Each structure stands twice: as structure tokens, then as C-alpha cells.
Chains A and B, each alone.
Chain A
């Protein structure tokens, strides 16, 4: 290896280590705060191995409001994933097959949720639905359409990347030339070949829903993040422990997607440039 290459190699490692430290330090700090029964002012090198305990986490898990909040969020995740897929998959297919020139515009449209902050979305939702559609507003699934919109920048991209990774038109034409209608083509040809893209889309939607706080809080829905915020007010360590657990769960989900993509590397439905 030449000297220049060696220097570059070392430089890359330094950047990587700095990034790892940047992300790891707050998480380690959160973990120590959550799982060590040591006053915050005394958290240092000398107390690194002192008084580690699951008490905070167990308090959170045993709180009577935890399970309802968790299952409520799980129901929201399932409903959001289903609605997202039902809306976005046919839309993306339609765009790819019928109006490929509009792909750029549609992609731009799916980015709009980035522009609208959740607090604005909440204000709009409150104004539009609280008085005009109280039944809808009170429904426990009121948040689902908003979560579909908020997850759209990620979920649409995952599906779009999956569609770009396969020879969509040829597969559809081949299936139809063999006598298959649209339903058979969708379920026997497209969905099996978009499996990884759909899983990616679902996992990303899941992490968005599990992490969303502002909208749920402002429209008074007792989701897991809202419970966590409330719980943390009177049980700081337990709340942090639960938040860390949620963070790890999201990380595991993303890790699973990456593993899946690596496993399927080189096959038709593999590539997903969002990772």
C-alpha cells in the first residue's frame, strides 16, 4: 500500500471512529442514567461498574398504562403499514408503468411531509376534524392517515427503489402474455419479487410510528411515546430506560432490513439505495 493510500486509510478510520463516538456517547450516557442507581453528579469513570439495575425499566414495564399504550402503538403500526402499502404500491406501480415521466414529480410530492412540521399538521388536524368530524377525531385510528403521510418520504422510496431494481415492465408483460390478469400478476409475480422492498417500507413506517410524539400528544392520543413522556415526568430513570429499549428495537429493525438486503444481494429485488 502506498504512503498516500495508507494516509487516506487512516483518515477514513479516524472519521469513522469520531462518528461512532458522536453517536455512542449519548447512548452510553442514557444507558448509565437509566440503569445505574448513582446520582447524576457522580456518574463518572470511578462509578462505571457501580449499582447497575433493571429496577427503572421494570417499573416502566409494570406501569398499568404501559401495556395499553404499547398495544395501541402496535395497532397504529399495523394499520399504518397496511394503509401505506395499499396506497403506495399501486401508485408506484402505476407511475412506473403508465406515467414514468411523472416519477420525479411524484417523488417530490412524497417529500412534502418534510416541509410540514408535525405541529402544523396537528394544528390543521385539530382545526379540521375536532368540530367537523368528532367521531373520526375520537377514533383510535385517527392518527393513521397522518402517519401514512409522515412515513411517505421513506416508505415510497423503499417501494420505488424495489420497483427500479426489477425489470418491471417485462415481468408484467410476461405474466399477462401467459394469461394472468392484474390480480394474479400482482400477487404471484410482483409482490414476491418486491418482498424486500415491502419489508423495508414496513420497517421504516414502523420506526416512524413508534417514534412520533408531537402529533399524538397534541391530538390527545395515548401512544407509547406519549406514555413515555408522561412516565418520565415522575420516573425519569424508568422513562429513559423504556426510551432506550425503543431505540434499540428500532435499531434492530433497521439492522434486520440491512441483513435482508445483504442476503438477497445480486438478485432482482435487492437494491435499495436509501440504505
Chain B
């Protein structure tokens, strides 16, 4: 299938700072792709280049079949929702939504119909005659979404549109964006630093760091099969444990030998090699202390997280904190309790380290 939007080897610098390094990304028609990364990783620069607000130093941007690298922003037919509230304060809600249609000289009847339809989609028909300052933040962003979609853009660009909203509104609007995007089938590029947001509504997620796209994949791939240690650490949380390889498919963690699955690099590295094992909290469970195949330790804290509780345990032998996920139907653990920590290494990431315990810069992930 032809790409709806394509970044080909796009590079952008600001002075001596490299904001984007050889970005390659294809969006297929109708999909929602998120660019996820910490502040300053280049995700917004990528979005602004797609929108036409920045010109890349090299590389090209293609929209459908057309090279739009040097096409001005107002001729790209893209819709954009911004992080800060961007409604025009001098116009009513309806006039804001109609702005792009008026620029395109759409007939008044068609314009009114389209405005009505878009406001209905974002459930704000009753606010048509109000001014932006009379709306809440969430309502303003919904109007901004309606305004961006009213022009029937080839690509919808979302620049952290939820970051200024409170938690409850953020989740509601996130779901609304996904619903409207799916209904209209608009190809969407969504920039966020919130991994939960990205994983929840995206068809694919691109994780960025220091101007580079580290990995692109479905939310499950990103979470379960991270391409490198940056992605592994950035997406979700990870326990990091020192380990030594004992044989193919087995590692020793604090005197307990555990199995590591072939998908996580069981065949890589030689026996006796020092490793750092990255294990998700949901792959760590608690048992009675001294149970076979467990590392003993003491519970130091518990964080209630709704369906599960995250319990932190300090291991006796390694003096490291490990976070385990305890589901609601399992026994409760209290601070000071003695516990046996069981590690499921089948999905673990293994990172080679040198003798000083530092990550070997030459080492590739064994995963």
C-alpha cells in the first residue's frame, strides 16, 4: 500500500544541535502513528517539518505521491491540533471551525453543513455561538480537533494536544480523538511524551531519542520486544538486575538460576559473561520466603495501582530494589514482610556489561 505520509532520511539541525537524524517513517493511509519520546528528542520537530513550519536540512517529505518538502504550510492540506489552546479568540466556536473552509472558499451552505457535522462529531453543537474563553480546556481542544478535521486534511497532525488537560479529561479526549479518527479514517501523526497515551490509541508507535527513531512497531511490539535498551527503559518500567550467563538459555541472578527465553537472546553471549537483566514488574511475582527458585528479600513499600499493587522488595543478596506486580486477588504484602521473589526471564532483556558493571558501548542487546 502506498504511504500517506513519508519521511525519507530527514535531517534537521538548529545551530550545532541535531534535532533530527536521518528520520525514516512511513504512515499508511488511515493509521494513527504516535511519535513518543522525552523532551528534546525531535518528535515535535518531525511534526513541524511535516506541517511545513520547518524546512529539513536534507531528506524529503512525501504526501501520497507528491514531494512536499518545500511546499509552504498553507498549501499542504494538513490539519493540526496544538499543545497550547490555539482557537482564534476573536471568533466563535462555529467561526473557528469554519475558518479553514472559508479560506478554501467553500459555499456558505456547504460550510454551515460541514461545521454542524464536525461540531456534532465532537459533541459541541450547543457551544457553536460561544467564544473560546467561555469553554473549558477540554472543550477548546475538541473544537480545535473539529476545526482541523473540517478541512478534510490528508493527514492530521496532533502536537501533544492533551498535555495541558487534567487526567480525567485527558483520557476522555484521548478516546474521542481515536473514535473520530477511526470513523473518518484520517491518517494521523500524534506526538506525545506520555507513553500510556501512545500505547493506548496508536496503531503503531515510533520511539525517539536524541533525534533518532529508535524503533517503530505496534504497541505490543514496543512493550514486549523493545529494539534496544533505551526503548526498553523508556516504555513502561523495568527492573534492572545484575546476572551472569551460566549456559545457553540460563542466567544466574543472585545465586538463583533462571531460564531466559530464546526470543530474549538465550543463544547470545558466552558462559560467565556479565549481564544486566531487564525484567518488567509483571514478570516478577512474590512467594513465601525461601520458596524454591526465589530470591529472598524484604518488602519496603507498596503502591496501589487499581487492578494491581506494585510491591517494592529489597533483595538480600544483591541489595537492589525489585518491583513486583501483585494482582488484586493475591495475598496482600505489608512493609517489612519477608518475601521470595520469583523472576520470569522468558521476556527479559539482556544487556552485556563490562567488568566494572557499565554497559559495554560496543555491545548490542542480546534480545
Contact = CB atoms under 8 A, between A and B. Distances in A.
Interface stretch (B34-42, B70-78, B305-313): B70-78
B263 interface: no
Interface stretch (A27-35, A41-49, A167-175, A215-223): A167-175
Contacts of B86: 167, 170-171, 173-174
Which of A166, A176, A179, A266 has most B Cβ within 10 Å?
A: A179
Contacts of B73: 173, 176-177
A178 interface: yes
Contacts of B157: 177
Contacts of B99: 175, 178, 180, 188
A274 to B, nearest CB: 21
Contact of A178 (B53, B72, B100): B100
A268 B88 CA distance: 9
B327 to A, nearest CB: 44
B88 A184 contact: no
Interface in B40-92: 51-53, 72-80, 82, 84-90
Interface string A260-275: 0000001111000000
Contacts, number: 74
Contacts of A268: 89, 133
A192 interface: yes
Interface residues of B, number: 30
Contacts of B74: 176-181
A56 B209 CA distance: 79
A127 B151 CA distance: 59
Contacts of B53: 173, 176
A200 interface: no
Contact of B133 (A171, A176, A192, A267): A267
Given A170-B84, A173-B51, A184-B103, A179 B89 contact: no
A179 B51 contact: no
A181 B104 CA distance: 11
A176 B52 CA distance: 9
Interface in B159-215: none
Nearest to A166: B89
B164 to A, nearest CB: 12
Contacts of A267: 89, 133
A180 B86 CA distance: 15
B147 A170 contact: no
Interface string B82-125: 10111111100000000110011000000000000000000000
Interface of A: 166-167, 170-171, 173-181, 184, 188-189, 192-193, 266-269
24 contacts: A167-B84, A167-B85, A167-B86, A170-B85, A173-B51, A174-B80, A174-B82, A174-B88, A177-B51, A177-B74, A177-B76, A177-B78, A177-B148, A177-B157, A178-B100, A179-B75, A179-B103, A180-B103, A184-B103, A188-B88, A189-B88, A193-B90, A266-B133, A269-B89
